[in-house]
Amino acid sequence: MGTWRGLRVAFIMGSLFMILLIIVYWDDVGGFSLYPLKDPKHEVLQSGCCAPTTMSPPQTTPASRAHTTSSSIVSTTASSASFSPKEAAQEHTEEGKGKQNHAQRKEETKEDVEMEISAYDREQEARKKRIDDVCSGKEDVEVPERTRPFSQIPNRELDHLIVDDTHQIIYCYVPKVACTNWKRVMVVLSQSLISSSSGKPYTDPEAVPADLVHNSTLHLTFAKFWRRYGSLSRHLMALKLQHYTKFLFVRDPFVRLISAFRNKFGRPNQDFYRQFGSVMLRRYGNVSGDLPETAAEAFKAGIKPTFQQFITYLLDPETEKESIFNEHWRQVYRLCHPCQVKYDFIGKLETLETDAEHLLKLLKVDHLIRFPSGAQNKTAASWERDWFAQIPISTQRQLYKLYELDFELFGYPKPDSVLHQ
């Protein structure tokens, strides 16, 4: 029993001694670290402030022995890791130069980005100013719609203005100007199409089937506002035009016509063959007898409209007396009404990638989607000379007059046939 009591007393005394030792060590060091020797800052601090000094031998108490041992270890480690004053100064200078160079490179990169953004903003402002100048009559070009207010534009002529209320966007689509991919973007943003595989709305524009994206039921356009909102439709249109971000994309008018012809008449297309191709062949093709019933049969027999017949069809006054131009060759100013709608962003197919990147940032959706990669077989602007080589100069000039306002509004240069008249 006495032995057990003695052990308890010894254990208590030992515990008190350890507590005292910890208190003394804490008071000397001024802090506590589980790994004091592995802290680089601690090592540098020791080497920079603890020069060797002559000291009287310490008293040999347990606490002082513990502190001496710890200080000795730290001092030894710090000494082995220390540098001479010259080396330390050199390292400090090199470190300073490195930080200065890094900061300079960072500043130069920031300036480059700012210059790029500034240059692009200036380009956008120039495009918008060009439209303002033409619409206000500052340019020597006739503007049929200049004095007509938006409120007087019939609903049927507003069917190309697609509205996304969720993101407050209005997009005027122009056929043959990347409209398939921009419609894909609008479908994803509005979540108006459910994927048959996932059962959820599409999240990737590139995954949206091209044959479905042109289904008019997927898109809310201004032309549908009357059925949806009745007498409030025009008021709502005005509010959305004032507050939403509005954009469109354009391209060289003559190159757009080449693209439209290649797409609709350069390969069998039953709808366009029946509605337009057969008309061109009968009027301007000197075709005797009945035409084949289908586009496939006509192509197989070598019967198809030529580009010159297509141009003649466009210039024929009888064409629009029968029906309005198809959207694929209707002028942009008639599709999107840029003299009545003040667009916030004017994109061009010739600079599609750059414009798409900036536009998605402007719309604040660049973190949600990416613009789909473009088609590899798009009509090149360099083809214009070849396609128009067989078109008489006088006909080219007439065609230019038909599309002159699009050339002027969007800053496209006059064709050579017009410049050299």
The residues of the chain scoring below 50 in pLDDT are 24-83
pTM for the whole structure: 0.73
What is the residue extent of each domain of the chain?
113-252+333-379
Query: What's residue 333's pLDDT?
Result: 97
137 backbone φψ class: left, alpha, beta (φ>0; ψ -120 to 50)? left
Query: What's residue 126's pLDDT?
Result: 97
Q: Is 114 exposed, middle or buried (0-12, 13-18, 19+ CB in 10 A)?
A: exposed
Q: With beta carbons less than 8 A apart as the criterion, state whether 181 and 205 touch.
A: yes
Q: Return d(Cα 340, Cα 333) in angstroms, integer.
A: 10
